[in-house]
Amino acid sequence: MSTIVFELVSPERLLVSRAVEMVTVPGTEGDFGVLPGHAPLVSSLRVGVLDVRTDAATAERYFVAGGFAEVSPERCTVLAEEAIPFSEMDRAKVEAEIKYYQDALLVTEKEDVKAKFKRRIELAEVKLSLLAH
């Protein structure tokens, strides 16, 4: 077996569903690689980069923000709270997102809403730092 079935799912859509050679997942205990024949595992995700290798020369990168990964010898399924292909991330849009939530934070009085806005700002700042590399 030289490939593993990989699925990446966000609340909005199914981003990936195909056979791949390897997946590197940002687990809460650290990054881990998944190859065919991997031992069964369930892990929560941290904010970070998920790398998908379709072959030795081709990799796709995705920004993920939280969620879970379930691994078996034949399959790796990632259910992400948020997932965006790097190819779809735009610096200007991320900067605009930060400004929007910073402005909204100034006029919001509800603490639960403020917490959500602060989380959105933190995630957008991580996206910016990833785009810089």
Distance of CA 52 to the CA centre of its chain: 11
Phi, psi angle pair for 14, to nearest 5°: -90, 115
Instruction: Tell me which of 126 and 24 has the higher pLDDT.
Output: 24
Beta-strand pair 58-64/30-34 = unpaired
Contact (Cβ atoms closer than 8 angstroms) between residue 3 and residue 73: no
| Tens-digit pLDDT profile for residues 92-123 | 998 998 899 999 988 888 988 889 888 888 88
| Burial class of residue 71 in the structure, from the number of CB atoms within 10 Å of its CB (0-12 exposed, 13-18 middle, 19+ buried) | buried
| Tens-digit pLDDT profile for residues 62-74 | 999 999 999 999 9
Specify the pLDDT at position 56: 74
User: Is domain 4-86 classified as CATH 2.60.15.10?
Assistant: yes
Share above pLDDT 90 across residues of the chain, in percent, rounded to a whole number? 62
Maximum separation of any 2 CA atoms in the chain, in Å: 56
